[in-house]
Amino acid sequence: MARSGMKVDKSFKRQAFVEAANLVNGRLPTTSMDADNVENHKRTLKQKYPEIMKLMNLSGVGWNDTEKMLVLEDETYRTYVEGQPKAKEYLNKPISFFEEL
């Protein structure tokens, strides 16, 4: 979409979100997404990605490719969560589609 002129500066044009919603709805017939949903998901992923990458770079953190989740040693988990309680949502839980981000 960026190559087709749907990206201006650092953001996508409204039409890009409309087309993305149509693609999702076409591939997942039980889904009903609109451009606003797609834009909100993009915004959410953009906020979460740096935190996940920060976690991946910590000592004592691994990636379970079968389960698609970060795996932390117990001590690393306790230490990190004390200082970053919001990180709990990424720890030892599947992160769907992370490799595609």
pLDDT surpassing 60 at residue 79: yes
Full-model pTM: 0.63
Quote the mean pLDDT of the chain. Answer: 83
Are 96 and 68 within 8 A, CB to CB? yes
At 7, the pLDDT band (50, 70, 90 cuts) reads low
pLDDT in tens, 44-75: 888 888 888 888 888 888 888 898 888 888 88
- The DSSP string of 39-94 is HHHHHHHHHHHHHHHHHHTSTTEEEETTTTEEEE-HHHHHHHHHH-GGGGGGBTSB
